[in-house]
Amino acid sequence: MSLEQAPDEVKLAVDLIMLLEQHQIPTATVLAALDIVRQDYLKKQEAETAS
């Protein structure tokens, strides 16, 4: 499967990985930031489904 035909979440993941690698951000920093982002988006999702 080519990236062009991949699901949107795969395309986004690849873009994020490339961006993070290009900026040479330490792995621990990336993982900590991703935890924060995940929690933020889980709250956003809860708010969207509650309305």
Percent of the chain surpassing pLDDT 70: 100
Sign of the C-alpha dihedral computed for residues 6, 9, 13 and 15 taken in this order:
positive
The widest CA-to-CA distance across the chain, in whole angstroms, is: 39
The yes-or-no verdict on residue 42 having pLDDT over 90 is yes
What is the pTM for the complete model shown? 0.80
pLDDT by residue (tens digit) across 4-28? Answer: 999 999 999 999 999 999 999 999 9
pLDDT attached to residue 1:
73
What burial class does residue 2 get, using C-beta atoms within 10 Å of its C-beta: 0-12 exposed, 13-18 middle, 19+ buried?
A: exposed
pLDDT attached to residue 24:
97
- Find the Cα–Cα–Cα–Cα dihedral 5, 19, 35, 43, rounded to 10°: -60
